[in-house]
Structure 1
Amino acid sequence: MAQWSRMNQLFQYLPTQTVTDLYPNSFPIEVRFYLASWIEEQRWEDFDLDKVDLEVQAQFLLEQVIRILHTLAQQKVDVVEKMRLMHVGRNMHVFKKQPLQFGVMVRDILRNEQALLNNATVNMPQYLQSPRSVQSSNPKMQDVDHLVLKVQELQNCRKNIHDGQEQLNLNVTNFESEFQEPSKPNGLDKQNKERQNLQRNIKQQELQLQILAEKRSQLLQEAVDSLDQCQSNLITRLKTWRWEQHKATIGHPFDDNLSPLQTWCETLLVVNLNLRQELVLVGKPMPEHEEMLEHLLRSLLQSCLMADKQPPQVIKTQSKFSTTVRFLLGDKVASGKPVVVKAQIITETQARNLGQLGTVPSENVGELINNTAILEHNQSNKNTCATFRNMSIRKIKRADRKGSESVTEEKFALLFSTEITITGRGTPYKIQTISVPLVIIVHGSQDHNALATIIWDCAFSEPDRMPFVVPERVPWKEMCVTLNSKLMSEVGTCKSLDEYNQHFLAQKIFDKPDISGDYSNMLVSWTQFNKEVLPGRPFTFWQWFEGVMELTKRQLKAYWSDGLIFGFIGKQHLHLILQDRPNGTFLLRFSDSEIGGITIAYVAASENGGQKIQNIQPFTKRDLEIRCLGDRIRDIENITLLYPEFPKNDVFRKYYTGDYSLFIHTYYQ
């Protein structure tokens, strides 16, 4: 469809009226778009209104166009698009009495397109690139549309073979019944000529059937190969969806809409079943194609079971939680016995062996309550889901730990498994999928460390990894991106960590407060992140950072979002920026001496007449629940200017509560 690809580029430079005139109402641009490849593969140049002998060929092409439009309409989920294609197909019935006119019309459209392209090549060659460089807005789905058309062409070829064979059978029967006697020696009588003509027609029909059979074999091979490629693209996209879902834990953007992927899955399943039917109708064994289609079907079914709503990644035993599994081919499930999905807990080792064995682990490592659910189809939204609403882990069997490894570093997963029977296929297929990694705890005090394991896993694991391998060390710049993303998503703010915040965090985790250089490529380890306590502190880096996030989320979101909190800053940097500021200048920074605290650093007069930097005792979440930060700032008379020089009442006024007018009157007396 090289010509259509080039036209797509040209449209943006053509006047609207030119495009409107190019495609008449009887052959709208939608037909040209959806059938682009097929149209350019046919011979339209042969048609002319005077060539009456081509009327049958034109009629055949017209019927194919109508049939393809009908097939495409059935494949569309969007009702408007479906109705539009059906309407266009119905309107083309008007050509059935004048098929040659249809052939000439398409010929002229292609000629006019080529004329526009030739003119564009001369007048604006810089805009008209090679067709190879043209990218569809959704090339993967366009490939699926082409595959559907290829199967339609295969089905039409098979029907033509069937019709041709019937006609050949009639001609052979007529020949055998009417010309039993040998022709006369002179070979000039009427009967002999009829006999020769019928023999010639039979041979032509046999040759045409042979050509169609070869074409059918080629189309079948192309369709199977195309299905293989389209399904490979689909599975890659499903894996990407799962990966993006996993990364959403640390705040990465994620579109959880599975409907487009479901449509893609359903289309490929229909193609697979149609190709199986075509193999049966061939009438001879084709084991290579049969094996490939069976392999593709199993792979598709396996890939279509998804953990739509993941379980919480830190689960406390005896606590209730929920999760949802979705099957993307739900309306293709054979009716009858309900489909039961079973969940079980598996270890990291068992998760690794799933890929090798493909079976459900026999060893039970935990007792999971309410671990079965029925796969139910929702007619309104077309989703087929099994929802586990009241799951609970009663007990868990731990593996032997190595060295200093703690229970909060041990990763598990939920394995969901079931048997699916597809309509039209009697054999049930065993399919399964696993959840994202989980950490199972027995006490709330383990929650922070367990979450650290999950954060590290979500942030630094690679796609298609062996479950659940993660690196021991990562560059600081990657860690910094993770901390920033997690902070913004957890707090629900658009304000990110600035370069000063990031530099201080690097100094803190590496314990290098005197280094002012670039930390980007320094490697930070899991141990530094959440195993070793910070120097002089009873907590790890992650425990401290998570405490800041929790405080900001609960009490300081608006202040942080408005840029009123400086945040993370070291004492050296603090003294540097405040040393030449007037008395009363202050800034808000997160405490580095305790978890979940915010303090006020301000410039005050010293005993010898100079200046000194004072730090107020940090306010905790409990303090700020009693009295908000705005009111506390209002109460402190020694602070007047928010760094660098904003009067505090101007910037914090909206956060004051109570009778502010009385306060202002008292303040300025």
Structure 2
Amino acid sequence: MAQWLRISQMLQCLPDDTVNNLYPPSAFPIEVRHFLAEWIERQRWDDFALGNVEQVSQARALLDQTINMLQSVAQHNSNVVDKMKLMQISRNMTMFQQDSLQFAVMVREILTKERVLLGTPAQMPNPPQFQQYPNIESSFPNMQDVDHLVLKVIEVQDIRQKMHQLQEELNWERQNYEVLQAPIQQNGLDHTKLEIQKLQNHIQKLEYNVKAMATKRFQLLKECVDCLDQCQTRLISRLKAWRWDQQKATIGQPFDENLNPLQTWCEQLLGVNGKLRQELVLMGEPIPELQERLGKLLQVLIQSSLVVDRQPPQVIKTQSKFSTTVRYLLGERVAPGKPVVLKAQIINELQARNLSSVPCDNVGELINNTAILEHNTSSKSTCATFRNMSIKKIKRADRKGSESVTEEKFALLFSTEITITGCDTPYRIQMISLPVVVIVHGSQDHNALATIIWDCAFSEPDRVPFMVSERVPWRMMYGTLNSKFTSEVLTCHNLDQYNQHFLAQKIFDKPDFADDFSNILVTWAQFNKEVLPGRPFTFWQWFEGVMELTKKHLREYWSKGLIFGFIGKQHLHLILKDRPNGTFLLRFSDSEIGGITIAYVSATENGGQKIQNIQPFTKRDLEIRSLGDRIRDIDHITYLYPEFPKHEVFKTFYTEPQASPIGGYIPVSLQTKVGTQASSDTPPPLTSLPESPHSVVGFDAQGLAQRREEKAPGVCQHQQQATTPHALSFLTSS
């Protein structure tokens, strides 16, 4: 951050153009550099180089982390203007996901230019001018690109019309020349000779102009085809980016599903192609090179305009209904007459790698696998909706080693034959869905979902289906967990650095490791193949259980910062050891899937203190009695860490007593009671960990922050930790 502090002072002396060139507003706004200054300067940007494909995954991890951190900063920013600006910037930066290496190199160059500035006097008479970093948006089609192309086509048409007029005039003058030639041959009149000479000169001028315009027309036609090729390449890149964003939405990344702008561009480029093919016909002589290029461009555009608008479920149980929607972006240009019927079939990984022809070997039987392409005039979309599809049976490939059925990936292939108005021949078009895992029993759902999460999070663009790395850096894994957690729970409250550290300790089985895990590689096996030490479940099964519990029963508690979340025993003892009796915090159970427990400080018989953990509350427990009411029931706990009275913090979650029922019955209520039996547990050796800056919405945030900025000592005496069972008792009143 030291570099940014110095450079930010120097920027005040530089012209706006220089600042905008250094921090391109459309690619890397200065706000990114300002709000993420410390983090940016800690990363190893200097190692990146364009063309080094081995660095792509690392660059994408830094890009994803940049976007996540911007969103986090925005969510915790009290300034509404800054919040909206940062959220917009984070959305715009997703455009780098197709070329994350370009993003990393851009940051490297910005930091290099900053260092150049710092090596010069603060005030310079002629400050250095930096070349504008290429705008990533320029690689995508936009209205200006297409408008420029359309104007070129109009110019070609205008030249053709002028050439036609000149040619008509030339034909007329040639006829006059022949008429005047007869008298001069008979009589040899001098004035006729003079007229003929003038006419010859005029004819020569007309011939020259026609020839010059023909040359210009051909050159413009070639430029139009080149421009069309460039625009279409960019359009297809944007379509791929849309599909990539759709895939990333599986793990909670933002996704703009609106296809209307892309449809407009497809239609415009198709129209331009048709006009250029018409101009080539009107040239009067064949130009094979341009005709062949336009034909190939037309074929690619027609075949690339089929999009899976609504993906099928990525975990599909056999004999269960599901739906999906396929959209054709050139639907309004489909030739009328015979309806277009799309067929769906399920294909395996090997077949997905060879889609040059329609697979003839059926690996699964799909029910209701055809749908008609229908045009909706109100939405101007042309879609085929498969409403009641079902996989009747599936044929699996031979498994490798310890690979399970929930690791095998399939896809749905949609295909049809289509004829476009103005085209002589029909075209075969097809598109595959995102990978799906087929299961036969609900118990396989968790493991199948893990396969999909790993595939969507860590696959590369334009990969060979369905290749994905077996190991990724922890920072990428954590970014995925955080994104999935916040999107599933529907919360803006992210997992913090303390949650991240504990999750890393858990997945790597390194409870004593206090250093940074960011660059340590986590494997697929550690994620969801090997059970956690001493547990009967995998890391993903445990994490998903917490996510489901939070989504269904704890969303408001989590969003308001009332739940500490993922915390290890070291950190737990470190932050609670000097707190008054009755101080408690809420943490997710380390030993049980989908459980939340209360850890609190209590007195020992000899006047000391010990930390107790109440038996975790599961989904079933919280369906019977809410967490807020259970906290109210337990007299042992009085202050939410660090020192918030529980009745002030949780009062909005308390259930009001029910009115006396009609009929004279004695009302019955439930209450949580904590038992006395407990199992002792000695915490592991402690490492130096700061207190977590969790916030409680609506309370003394400044005081809370000041208290939590205090650093906990690196070592403390071991204290007893106990797990206390809870029970529900029926209370009666007369």
Fold in common (TM above 0.5): yes
1:458 to 2:487 alignment: no
Distance in 2 between residues matched to 1:578 and 1:505, nearest whole Å: 20
- Deviation by residue 1:598-634 (Cα, 9 ceiling, x = unmatched): 0000000012110000000000001001100000000
Aligned to 1:609: 607
Indicate the SS of the match to 1:536: coil
Question: Percent identity of the aligned residues?
Answer: 71
Q: Which amino acid aligns with 2:296?
A: H
Q: Which amino acid aligns with 1:335?
A: P
Q: Against the structure 1 CA distance between its residues 131 and 553, is the aligned structure 2 distance closer, same or farther, given a 3 Å change threshold? A: closer
Q: Against the structure 1 CA distance between its residues 474 and 129, is the aligned structure 2 distance closer, same or farther, given a 3 Å change threshold? A: closer
1:249 to 2:247 alignment: no
The 8 Å contact of residues 329 and 382 in structure 2, kept in 1 or not, is answered as: yes
Distance in 2 between residues matched to 1:417 and 1:252, nearest whole Å: 29
- Deviation by residue 1:135-186 (Cα, 9 ceiling, x = unmatched): 9998743221111111111111111111111111011111112332337999
1:155 to 2:157 alignment: yes
Aligned to 2:191: 190
- Deviation by residue 1:452-507 (Cα, 9 ceiling, x = unmatched): 00000000000000000000000000000000000000000000000110000000
The 8 Å contact of residues 473 and 522 in structure 2, kept in 1 or not, is answered as: yes
CA RMSD of aligned residues (A): 2.4
Q: Against the structure 1 CA distance between its residues 523 and 128, is the aligned structure 2 distance closer, same or farther, given a 3 Å change threshold? A: closer
The 8 Å contact of residues 407 and 448 in structure 2, kept in 1 or not, is answered as: yes
- Deviation by residue 1:235-290 (Cα, 9 ceiling, x = unmatched): 00000000000000000000000000000000000011111111111111111111
Q: Against the structure 1 CA distance between its residues 135 and 158, is the aligned structure 2 distance closer, same or farther, given a 3 Å change threshold? A: farther
Higher helix share: 1
Distance in 2 between residues matched to 1:296 and 1:125, nearest whole Å: 48
Aligned to 1:538: 536
Distance in 1 between residues matched to 2:133 and 2:566, nearest whole Å: 51
Indicate the SS of the match to 2:389: strand
Indicate the SS of the match to 2:182: coil
Of 140, 143, 146, the residue aligned with 1:141 is: 143
Indicate the SS of the match to 2:573: helix
Distance in 1 between residues matched to 2:134 and 2:372, nearest whole Å: 48
Indicate the SS of the match to 1:388: strand
The 8 Å contact of residues 184 and 192 in structure 1, kept in 2 or not, is answered as: no
Q: Which amino acid aligns with 2:559?
A: S
Distance in 1 between residues matched to 2:197 and 2:426, nearest whole Å: 57
The 8 Å contact of residues 184 and 192 in structure 2, kept in 1 or not, is answered as: no
Structure 1 residues 296-335: aligned runs within 5 Å: 296-335=297-336
Q: Residue 424 of structure 1: CA displacement?
A: 1.0
1:368 to 2:375 alignment: no
Aligned to 1:173: 175
Indicate the SS of the match to 1:338: coil
Q: Against the structure 1 CA distance between its residues 639 and 413, is the aligned structure 2 distance closer, same or farther, given a 3 Å change threshold? A: same
The 8 Å contact of residues 183 and 192 in structure 1, kept in 2 or not, is answered as: no
Aligned to 1:20: none
Indicate the SS of the match to 1:637: coil
The 8 Å contact of residues 369 and 394 in structure 1, kept in 2 or not, is answered as: yes
Q: Against the structure 1 CA distance between its residues 312 and 231, is the aligned structure 2 distance closer, same or farther, given a 3 Å change threshold? A: same
Q: Residue 197 of structure 1: CA displacement?
A: 1.0
Aligned to 1:288: 289
Aligned to 1:434: 432
Q: Which amino acid aligns with 1:279?
A: L
Distance in 2 between residues matched to 1:488 and 1:440, nearest whole Å: 26
Aligned to 1:262: 263
Aligned to 1:206: 207
1:395 to 2:393 alignment: yes
Q: Which amino acid aligns with 2:300?
A: S
Aligned to 2:279: 278
Runs of 4+ in 1 over 6 A off after TM superposition: 124-139, 183-187, 660-663
Distance in 2 between residues matched to 1:414 and 1:294, nearest whole Å: 29
Of 605, 618, 629, the residue aligned with 1:620 is: 618
Q: Against the structure 1 CA distance between its residues 606 and 136, is the aligned structure 2 distance closer, same or farther, given a 3 Å change threshold? A: closer
Q: Residue 193 of structure 1: CA displacement?
A: 1.9
Q: Against the structure 1 CA distance between its residues 315 and 130, is the aligned structure 2 distance closer, same or farther, given a 3 Å change threshold? A: closer
Q: Residue 223 of structure 1: CA displacement?
A: 0.7
Of 548, 551, 555, the residue aligned with 1:550 is: 548
The 8 Å contact of residues 413 and 437 in structure 1, kept in 2 or not, is answered as: yes
The 8 Å contact of residues 585 and 602 in structure 1, kept in 2 or not, is answered as: yes
Aligned to 2:343: 342
The 8 Å contact of residues 234 and 264 in structure 1, kept in 2 or not, is answered as: yes
- Deviation by residue 1:388-427 (Cα, 9 ceiling, x = unmatched): 0000000000100011000000000000000110001121
Q: Against the structure 1 CA distance between its residues 491 and 130, is the aligned structure 2 distance closer, same or farther, given a 3 Å change threshold? A: closer
- Deviation by residue 1:62-84 (Cα, 9 ceiling, x = unmatched): xxxxxxxxxxxxxxxxxxxxxxx
Aligned to 2:220: 219
Indicate the SS of the match to 2:622: helix
Distance in 1 between residues matched to 2:380 and 2:458, nearest whole Å: 35
Distance in 2 between residues matched to 1:130 and 1:495, nearest whole Å: 39
Q: Against the structure 1 CA distance between its residues 423 and 533, is the aligned structure 2 distance closer, same or farther, given a 3 Å change threshold? A: same
- Deviation by residue 1:58-115 (Cα, 9 ceiling, x = unmatched): xxxxxxxxxxxxxxxxxxxxxxxxxxxxxxxxxxxxxxxxxxxxxxxxxxxxxxxxxx
Aligned to 1:443: 441
Indicate the SS of the match to 1:353: coil
Q: Residue 541 of structure 1: CA displacement?
A: 0.1
Aligned to 2:578: 580
Distance in 1 between residues matched to 2:353 and 2:278, nearest whole Å: 37
Q: Which amino acid aligns with 1:250?
A: I
Count of residue correspondences: 538
Q: Which amino acid aligns with 1:548?
A: V
Q: Which amino acid aligns with 1:343?
A: A
Q: Which amino acid aligns with 1:353?
A: N
The 8 Å contact of residues 246 and 255 in structure 2, kept in 1 or not, is answered as: yes
Distance in 1 between residues matched to 2:648 and 2:180, nearest whole Å: 110
**TM-score if structure 1 supplies the norm length?**
0.78
Q: Residue 659 of structure 1: CA displacement?
A: 3.5
Indicate the SS of the match to 1:537: coil
Indicate the SS of the match to 2:391: strand
The 8 Å contact of residues 347 and 363 in structure 2, kept in 1 or not, is answered as: yes
Where does the alignment leave 5 or more consecutive residues of structure 1 unmatched? 1-8, 13-123, 664-669
Aligned to 1:378: 376
Q: Against the structure 1 CA distance between its residues 487 and 423, is the aligned structure 2 distance closer, same or farther, given a 3 Å change threshold? A: same
Aligned to 2:478: 480
Q: Which amino acid aligns with 1:168?
A: L
Distance in 2 between residues matched to 1:133 and 1:178, nearest whole Å: 64
Distance in 2 between residues matched to 1:323 and 1:193, nearest whole Å: 80
Indicate the SS of the match to 2:353: helix
Q: Which amino acid aligns with 2:292?
A: E
Indicate the SS of the match to 1:293: helix
The 8 Å contact of residues 141 and 231 in structure 2, kept in 1 or not, is answered as: no
The 8 Å contact of residues 599 and 616 in structure 1, kept in 2 or not, is answered as: yes
Of 488, 491, 494, the residue aligned with 1:493 is: 491
Aligned to 1:413: 411
Q: Which amino acid aligns with 1:351?
A: A
Distance in 2 between residues matched to 1:305 and 1:594, nearest whole Å: 46
Where does the alignment leave 5 or more consecutive residues of structure 2 unmatched? 1-16, 21-124, 661-668, 670-734
Q: Residue 291 of structure 1: CA displacement?
A: 1.0
Q: Against the structure 1 CA distance between its residues 618 and 130, is the aligned structure 2 distance closer, same or farther, given a 3 Å change threshold? A: closer
